[in-house]
Each structure stands twice: as C-alpha cells, then as structure tokens.
Structure 1
Amino acid sequence: MNIELGKFNQLEVVKEVDFGLYLDGGEEGEILLPTRYVSEGCQVGDMLNVFLYLDIDERLIATTLTPLVQVGQFACLEVAWVNQFGAFLNWGLMKDLFVPFSEQKMKMQVGRKYVIHAHLDDESYRIVASAKVERYLSKDIPDYAPGTEVDILIWQKTDLGFKAIIDNKHSGLLYENEIFCTLETGMQMRAFVKQVREDGKVDLILQKPGFEKIDDFSKTLLDYIKEHGGRIHLNDKSPAEDIYDTFGVSKKTFKKGVGDLYKKRLISLQENGITLAES
C-alpha cells in the first residue's frame, strides 16, 4: 500500500492508545491520528479518510481536518509568520505551510495573501509551497470546447484584465472589458471558456457565451420575478454591479432579457423596477 503525503488517504485503524489511534501506513509503518480528531465510536478495523502531513518533528501524522490546499493544488493563503528561512502560510492545520525565500516572487509579508502551489520538495520530502505558480501550470493545450463551464481561481491583475487558474491546471484570462463585477486575487468562482487559442491560451468569460444565454436568462429573470412576489427593484437604469450581484450577468444581457420578456408582454416596466404583467 502506498500512501500519499499531502493528500487524503483511506487508512485502516490498527491500534487504539490513550492519545489517539494508529492507522496502517503500509511501508511507512503506523501513523498516529491524535485523539482530538477521533470521532466517537471509532474502533480498530474501521477505515478512515484522513489527510497526511508532517508534524513539527517531521513525523507522519493524520488529521480529519480539511486543509485549505492539498499537494498538487493552487490556493490563495495568508502569511502567518516569517523567519530567516522563509514565510509560513495558514492552511488550516496546526503546522503552517512553508514557502522558502527561493520560491517567493517578492518578499512575503505577514497578514497578506498570495496565490501559491503546494507540492512535495524532492530533496526533503516535505510539503512546501511556491508563489512561482507559472512553473506548475500545464504546458499542454487544453481541449475545452467553447462554452465549457470551469472552476477558476483569480490569480493576478494585468493590463488586459485578470489572469485565472482553470481547474487547478491551466492558465486563463478574463478581459477587463468583459468583466461586470469586482474581482480580487484569490476569489474562486465558475466561469465559461470563450475560446482556446492556437497557442493554447484560454480566454474566459463570466457568463455563458452565445445567443443561448439570452433565452436562458429571460427564463431565469421571469422565474426570479415570480419568486419575489411579482416585482423586483432592478431595471435597465440599475448599476451594472447590482445586476451582476443579483443575477451573475452583464447589464447588456439583463437589458436583452428584459426586452425579450417585454415583447412577449410577460412583464411591465416601472420607473423603480419591473413587475409581472397583469393577465
């Protein structure tokens, strides 16, 4: 049995002691799950899903806590403290995640958040992080079709817009003139693939592309009005950010959806909002 450090593993309970449970780690021997993480009724022979990392004495230890990042993943984490060797990030576990100075783009500061990649150091077999995330992004050309829905992590602001990490693997870009909400580094959200360029770069948008989105949104808007007593206080003069916060679409899409419903005589337009048309 091979265990994976920095990830969740299914391990069997083999021994109970006063300070916790020992789990079968195969060639790595028995691994301690401290009492604080042992659920009531757990006993020898049970299979547990645990995260494995190294404690302050560099010993394998298990926890049932879910860290903010696992080995092979990207995340935006806050610096808890800094010493002469590097920075230490809060990733939700008792021992902080180490970022050597050599893996920092700029000197990290306590209290600030940075996008990092977690991996195993080849020499020390420790879980470490790097802010030089470009080297950990896939060099393969993605095979996304236009309109594919993806998970993204907002990475950094550029002159063109915002770089994002797609599905923990690829780099993408949201263009400034197609963003209708406030974005910040570290935000996680859903997006759509606009296109994959010949060079492998991925253009993203925050709303479903193509004409289909107008019809989809018209129905969404109508359902929303019905669910809110037949009236909403948004209209085509409302701020774009208020529209996006409510529906997740641009003001342009909102106005087209409103126009579609109005032409079908399903809604009435008021100075301070929209109401369902009287039947």
Structure 2
Amino acid sequence: MIAKGQYNDLRIIKKTESGLILTEGETEVLLPYFDVPKNAEIGDNINVFAYVQKDGKLIATTKKPLACVGDFAYLTVVDDNGDGAFMDLGLDKDIFVPSREQKRPMFKGDSHVVYLLLDESNDRMIASSKLLNFVEVEEINLEEGDEVSLLVVDRSDLGYNAIIDNKYIGLLYTNELFELLNPGETRKGWVKKIRVEGKIDLSLQTMGYGHILDNKDSILEELKYSGGTIGLGDKSSPEEIYSRFKISKNAFKKVIGGLYKDRIIAISDYEIKILVDHEAE
C-alpha cells in the first residue's frame, strides 16, 4: 500500500498525457510531468511524496515537504478562515488545521509547532497544535543522560516545552538556561530526569562525568590560549560563565574544583590561573 503523507519508493509503469503512472504493485498514482526528473524511464524506481488532494485523488510529487505525517514541525500560517487555518508545507498544497485541532486560535502570519496526521474521514493530511494528544507518555524508551534532539515548542511558567526525538515532550527549566530560546528552534539536549508520571526534565548540557572531562580540556585550552589566566572564578556570575564556556556555574565550579585538587590551577573569587608547572604541557 502506498503510504499517504509519506515518502514512497515506486516503480514507473507507464506514461500518460498528464504524467507518469507509478505503483508499489497494488495501487497506482500519478506523477505530473512538471515533477518528473530528467531521464526518468518506464521500469525505473523513483522516490516520491504521496498525498490525497482536495478532490480525493492520490497524487505524487518529487518536491520535498517540510514535514511528513507522523512528524512534529514548526510551520507558518498562510491563510485562515472560520473553519481553520492553512499552513505552508513547502508543497503546492498547504496543510489544513481545523479549528477543533487548534490549541489556541491561529491567524495568518503566525507560526506554531504542529503534529501532522491523516484525517480519518478522507485520508487527507491535516495538522494539530494539540501536541499532548500525540506524544508518547506511557512507554518512554529513554534513560537519564541520553543525548536527544529537541524542537522547542513554547514557553511555560517554568521554562520551555520541547519535543524530544519527534516522539516525547519534556521541559527545559528557565533557571538552568542562560539564553532565550525561540519556538521552532532545534537543539541538541540531554535527558536530565524521567519522573514517575512520565514527565521528562531536559538540559542543554551533557550530563555526568564525561561532561566534566570535556569541559576540563576546554578550560585548560582556554587558559593556555589566554596566557594562563582567565577572569572567572568562584564568585563570577552564571551569565559571565555561560557566555565564555556555555556551561552552568555549577558545572564550571565542578571542573575548576577538580583542576584545583589536581594542583593544575589556583582559584580566587574572580580569577583562575594555571600553575607554572603546567604552563608548557
């Protein structure tokens, strides 16, 4: 069966006045000539995106949509009416967001993170901004410390909600961030904690001992590059530390504490300095 709202590898079986006819062995779909790649011949296999048009007919295209069915994506509203909104999907066809699927009203020019799905009544693609209906909350195949991909959704009272690996939802806490994030922004992140109720706490910084080792090397390199002294210490502000090393003050203190115990650096309130014996290493 041809997967609607997805990419499909299909075989060219014949040519018509309108375009090429493709099939996976059971269903046939038209690829209009304006989308046909050069040198495509009968018998070739071709990768296309298939979707149902407004008239109910299945159509194929070689254009690349911004997202597929089953994806969370940050899309822009190009039109709105009393029934819903239309968002740019990067195709000739915009994707419809019915009013019933809008977490809050959508208007032309707005951008939102939405989930793409098939309308059960007609197999046409639609989108929804009611994301909690589509994230996995029971079987979470993640562990604390895992590196994940994040799609920032919106800001809440505690921080920023983010889609994790196109499957789960979690929270980046404001008091652990040192920069503003924007909806639609993609980031690399780490799982900080998985709570009993299935809620996931996230971090933009690596977790565990490996993180300390990586930052230890970075700070030593920066010390050597800066002539052996850096104007940051125990009492420096979190913002100053993050601006220089992109790590939290807590992580910074752990790293310089380890370097101090190893007798590699000296620490003062607003400065760290490499010891003479290690300057040439």
Q: Is the Cα contact below 8 Å between 2:144 and 2:193 reproduced in 1?
A: yes
Listed as ranges, the matches of 1:44-63 within 5 Å are 44-63=42-61
CA distance in 2, matches of 1:3, 1:239: 57
Which of residues 183, 195, 200 is equivalent to 2:198?
200
Amino acid at match of 1:213: H
Listed one character per residue, the Cα deviations across residues 23-57 of structure 1 (whole Å, up to 9, x for unaligned) are: 1154432x222333322222211111111112343
CA spacing shift, 1:23–1:244, aligned 2, 3 Å: farther
Taking structure 1 as the reference length, the TM-score comes to 0.83
Aligned twin of 1:14: 13
Q: Is the Cα contact below 8 Å between 1:236 and 1:254 reproduced in 2?
A: no
Aligned twin of 2:176: 178
Amino acid at match of 1:54: V
CA spacing shift, 1:223–1:108, aligned 2, 3 Å: same
Q: State the aligned residue count.
A: 273
Listed one character per residue, the Cα deviations across residues 1-27 of structure 1 (whole Å, up to 9, x for unaligned) are: x11100111101112346542211544
Listed one character per residue, the Cα deviations across residues 82-103 of structure 1 (whole Å, up to 9, x for unaligned) are: 1232100001111000001111
Q: Is the Cα contact below 8 Å between 2:78 and 2:88 reproduced in 1?
A: yes
Q: Is the Cα contact below 8 Å between 1:161 and 1:176 reproduced in 2?
A: yes
Listed as ranges, the matches of 1:110-189 within 5 Å are 110-189=108-187
Partner SS state of residue 177, structure 1: helix
Which of residues 55, 73, 83 is equivalent to 2:71?
73
CA distance in 1, matches of 2:13, 2:247: 53
Cα deviation, residue 212, structure 1: 2.8
Cα deviation, residue 199, structure 1: 1.3
Cα deviation, residue 181, structure 1: 2.1
CA distance in 1, matches of 2:257, 2:215: 11
State which structure, 1 or 2, has the greater radius of gyration over its C-alpha atoms. 2
Q: Is the Cα contact below 8 Å between 1:266 and 1:277 reproduced in 2?
A: no
Amino acid at match of 1:44: I
Which of residues 227, 236, 239 is equivalent to 2:232?
236
Instruction: Give the gaps of 5 or more residues in structure 1.
Output: none
Partner SS state of residue 147, structure 1: coil
Instruction: Give the gaps of 5 or more residues in structure 2.
Output: none
Question: Is the deviation greater in 69-78 or in 132-141?
Answer: 132-141
Aligned twin of 1:82: 80
CA spacing shift, 1:245–1:128, aligned 2, 3 Å: farther
Taking structure 2 as the reference length, the TM-score comes to 0.82
Q: Is the Cα contact below 8 Å between 2:65 and 2:90 reproduced in 1?
A: yes
CA distance in 2, matches of 1:142, 1:41: 46
Instruction: Quote the sequence identity (%).
Output: 39
Partner SS state of residue 175, structure 2: helix
CA distance in 1, matches of 2:273, 2:16: 66
Residue 211 (structure 1) aligned with residue 209 (structure 2): yes
CA distance in 1, matches of 2:59, 2:243: 42
CA distance in 1, matches of 2:22, 2:222: 51
Cα RMSD, aligned residues only: 3.3
Cα deviation, residue 163, structure 1: 1.3
CA distance in 2, matches of 1:261, 1:20: 68
Q: Is the Cα contact below 8 Å between 2:193 and 2:200 reproduced in 1?
A: yes
Q: Is the Cα contact below 8 Å between 2:265 and 2:273 reproduced in 1?
A: no
Partner SS state of residue 8, structure 1: strand
Partner SS state of residue 212, structure 1: helix
Partner SS state of residue 51, structure 1: strand
Cα deviation, residue 194, structure 1: 0.8
Amino acid at match of 2:8: N
